[in-house]
Structure 1
Amino acid sequence: MASAFKTCVPRLVARSSPASLSGITASAARSFVRPSPIQTRVAAFHASKNLNILPVGPQVIQGTVNDAAPVPPPNPTHGSFHWDFERLVAIGLIPLTIAPFAAGSVHPVMDAVLGASLVIHSHIGFQACVIDYFPKRQYGTLRKAATWALNGATLLVLYGLYEYETNDVGITEGIKRVWTA
């Protein structure tokens, strides 16, 4: 909206005749057409300056312009099988989430499968974030550290859910108690 207004106002002022510019002086009309150097540095609707949070990563070009794009080696875990597994887990969460509350029975096996499916679904999502935001070519050690941290956190959450299932009430009963509290 602001950029559309900024581009149309100078054109309208430049096309209009001096008689139609009632109340606007000639110098004010020219200031719309040619902004002063101070006006060109100020951006519309910005209240703070631009802050770069992270520095730009290393910019490395491998090869020349005429080199073909590298083709990664075929791996079934990074292709359609991986995508199919993600969709299977996501679709499987729907009945696993609804069934314990609709049926009214809390079976420990169903509770354990629900907990494991939630953790696997979350792990796959965070793994995609690590792969997308930490390219191996630019941030090799940082990506490796993020992957290890994700795997460690996943194992820790799985152990915590195991303890909650075996030594406490379980996920679905815990949610029921919090819901009715």
Structure 2
Amino acid sequence: MQRILAADTAGGHAFHKAHEFASYGLAGATPVAIVASKGGIMQKAADFVFSFAIPIHSHICMNACVTDYLPYAARGPARVGVLGMSVITYLGIMKVNLSGPGLTETVRGLWRKPAKN
């Protein structure tokens, strides 16, 4: 559990590789999500790449921020909070992907004009 809580420093090689692969996943899935057709298999694949890559990438990066900017005594509780937010982020993205329109369509909806009644 300590390795997960301190993913930036105590995680070792495995967490560095996970961060690297999450970065590659985000870099690859973003253009796919932009050009994919609505509801298509490519869009769904990008959504599921996002569901894993976003929480992993942000968890490790936020732990680096905790290490860099918080005093030693505050790091433990902050790391628990980061882990909680990472789990909530994963669950939220999966809920949107499995029972909603998907993460890509949700984000695209921010730029769509509302339908006229």
Q: What's the TM-score, normalizing by structure 1?
A: 0.49
Question: How far apart are 1:96 and its partner, in Å?
Answer: 0.6
2:99 match? 167
Q: Percent identity, aligned pairs only? A: 25
1:77 paired to 2:50 = no
1:28-63 C-alpha deviation (Å, 9 max, x unpaired): xxxxxxxxxxxxxxxxxxxxxxxxxxxxxxxxxxxx
Map of 1:133 onto structure 2: 69
Higher helix share: 2
| Structure 2 residue ranges without an equivalent (≥5) | 1-8
2 CA distance for matches of 1:134 and 1:180? Answer: 40
Equivalent in the alignment of 2:82: 150
Cα displacement string for residues 106-165 of structure 1 (whole angstroms, at most 9, x for unaligned residues): 4334312212211211111101111222354xx1xx211101111111111111112211
Larger relative contact order, structure 1 or 2 (CA cutoff 8 Å, min sep 6): 2
**Residue equivalent to 1:115:** 51
Q: Counterparts in 2 of 1:1-181, with a 5 A limit?
A: 77-78=11-12, 80-104=13-37, 106-107=40-41, 108-136=44-72, 139=73, 142-181=74-113
Alpha carbon RMSD of aligned pairs, Å? Answer: 2.3
Paired residues in the alignment total 102
Over alpha carbons, which structure has the higher Rg? 1
Give the 3-state SS of the residue equivalent to 1:180 in structure 2. coil
Give the TM-score normalised by the residue count of structure 2.
Answer: 0.71
Q: Which residue of 1 aligns with 2:5?
A: none
